[in-house]
Structure 1
Amino acid sequence: MRGWWREITGLVLPVVCGGCGSPRTLLCEDCGRALYGTWPCRVRPVPEPLGLPVVHAAAPYEDAVRAVLLAHKERGALGLAAPLGRALAAAVRAAAPSGTGVGPLLLVPVPSARRAVGARGHDATRRMALAAAGELRRAGRPCRVLPVLRQRRAVADQAGLDARSRRVNLAGALEVAGGGARLLAGGRVVLVDDLMTTGSSLVEAARALRAATGPGISLYAQVSAAVVAAPPLSFEINRN
């Protein structure tokens, strides 16, 4: 019900830019340039956790990009799913270039805690993944969203936890839903999320995928990850 209310209020309330608050636009030109105006880059947290797949991000997590992600995720600015999906699609293309892998792209969202989704009234990552898949299909790239990951136990709020505490908090927390492993074998798997900080969530998601598919399916070599944003210092271009 809360999600429908947000959809309706988005039609009647004054529109302001999710990045800077400029009136009469959902995303102004400058904030759009910050979100998807650069080429996606490989990102690595420091320290880089064992088991992290190759991750590409569309933009540094700062200023307008941070504001847009928070407006969509925490304040229910659902209209921002489309531009965020466009940015995520660019990161997916970098993570899985055309001609790599067999079958369609399979976008697997990293799930949020059920209580967090309930409190927000929508699943932000899944919404962005669907928008990204639509963007990729319109560009001629076969693509599906497979929300096959789910939490098998409760986890603590990640906010305020350091890298080690996050890894401990998430270890063994995810699993693939029944029948999901068969679906994963049908294409090129890309884990997707809104933000990578320490990489703990992506490590656990990749572990759950490998555990579900087993040694008979060469999933590990094909799994990569794409996110909308990551901390500026994690971008490889900033290390040269």
Structure 2
Amino acid sequence: MRGWWREIAGLVLPVDCAGCGRPRTELCERCRGLLGGASSVRRVRPTPEPAGLPPVYATGRYSDEVRAVLLAHKERGALGLARPLGTALAAAVRPLGVAGTVLLVPVPSARRAVARRGHDATARMTRAAAVALRRSGTPARAVPLLRQRRAVADQSGLDATGRLANLSGAVEAVGGCAALLAAAQVVLVDDLMTTGTSLSVAARAVAVAGGRVAGAAVVAGPDGPEIHPVGHRRR
């Protein structure tokens, strides 16, 4: 119900750009461009790189504006941002070159965080990405195949080691998904990659359930030398 009222309010009330604050537009053209597109897709790698991390592609860098857009969608319920964020995610999926049906699987959020926010931001972006892919001719489905099996701590203040300890054994595939996993390849989806721990743990959960992870798509990755353009060989 809360999400419904937010969507209605976004239609009738004046808003400012979620990225830069420009008045009377939910997302200005400049900030929309910072989210990236096909020409800005890059493979991103954290340092150090956790074991089992699949290839990860991002369209944006974690700049002030991109960070503000992601937080506006996730924490402030700016639900209209799901569509441009989903478009960015779709662009990050395409370099993976998955043939056939693509299963877009969101990295699961903690239940208490979803309850506090009133919506599941990652799942919402994932659905928007699937729509964008289908419009361009790629058969894609957004399927929440993963869940957290126990409570985890807030990741924001943890380093890579702490995040791994926090998430180890915390993510599992839902029951009855074996046939679905056998018929398609999985692309994991998240809004942001920092240490890569969440994606590597999610990939392991898919593998344990008998699936194959072709890669992962995120809106933004860490800025700096660990970001490589598509096709660039890391030395």
TM-score (norm 1): 0.91
Please give the alpha-carbon distance, in whole angstroms, between the structure 2 residues aligned to 1:204 and 1:41. Answer: 22
1:8 deviates by 2.3
Q: What are the superposed Cα offsets for residues 173-225 of structure 1, whole Å, 9 maximum, x if unpaired?
A: 01111111221111121000001000010011001001111xxxxx44x5311
One-letter amino acid of the counterpart of residue 9, structure 1: A
1:4 deviates by 2.0
For the 8 Å contact 2:191–2:220, the answer to whether it is kept is yes
State which of 177, 181, 197 in structure 1 corresponds to 2:178: 181
Identity %: 65
For the 8 Å contact 1:36–1:86, the answer to whether it is kept is no
One-letter amino acid of the counterpart of residue 29, structure 1: E
Equivalent residues in 2 for 1:131-210, closer than 5 Å: 131-210=128-207
Q: Secondary structure at the match of 1:7?
A: helix
Q: Secondary structure at the match of 1:165?
A: helix
Alignment pair present for 1:77 and 2:68: no
Please give the alpha-carbon distance, in whole angstroms, between the structure 2 residues aligned to 1:25 and 1:12. Answer: 12
TM-score (norm 2): 0.93
Please give the alpha-carbon distance, in whole angstroms, between the structure 1 residues aligned to 2:179 and 2:28. Answer: 42
Please give the alpha-carbon distance, in whole angstroms, between the structure 1 residues aligned to 2:106 and 2:179. Answer: 17
1:11 deviates by 2.1
One-letter amino acid of the counterpart of residue 226, structure 1: A
Please give the alpha-carbon distance, in whole angstroms, between the structure 2 residues aligned to 1:80 and 1:4. Answer: 14
1:236 deviates by 1.9
Q: What are the superposed Cα offsets for residues 55-103 of structure 1, whole Å, 9 maximum, x if unpaired?
A: 1111111121111111101111000001001100000112x22xx44x3
Q: Secondary structure at the match of 1:223?
A: strand
Q: Secondary structure at the match of 2:59?
A: strand
One-letter amino acid of the counterpart of residue 31, structure 2: C
Equivalent residues in 2 for 1:49-60, closer than 5 Å: 49-60=50-61
Please give the alpha-carbon distance, in whole angstroms, between the structure 2 residues aligned to 1:182 and 1:109. Answer: 18
Q: Name the structure 1 match of 2:120.
A: 123
Please give the alpha-carbon distance, in whole angstroms, between the structure 2 residues aligned to 1:118 and 1:181. Answer: 28
Say what the alpha-carbon RMSD is for the aligned residues. Answer: 1.6
Q: Secondary structure at the match of 2:125?
A: helix
1:139 deviates by 0.6
1:41 deviates by 0.7
Q: Secondary structure at the match of 1:108?
A: strand
For the 8 Å contact 1:206–1:223, the answer to whether it is kept is no
1:9 deviates by 1.9
Please give the alpha-carbon distance, in whole angstroms, between the structure 1 residues aligned to 2:114 and 2:88. Answer: 22
1:13 deviates by 2.0
1:232 deviates by 0.7
Please give the alpha-carbon distance, in whole angstroms, between the structure 1 residues aligned to 2:144 and 2:138. Answer: 19
Please give the alpha-carbon distance, in whole angstroms, between the structure 2 residues aligned to 1:170 and 1:224. Answer: 19
Please give the alpha-carbon distance, in whole angstroms, between the structure 2 residues aligned to 1:9 and 1:50. Answer: 44
State which of 223, 228, 235 in structure 1 corresponds to 2:227: 235
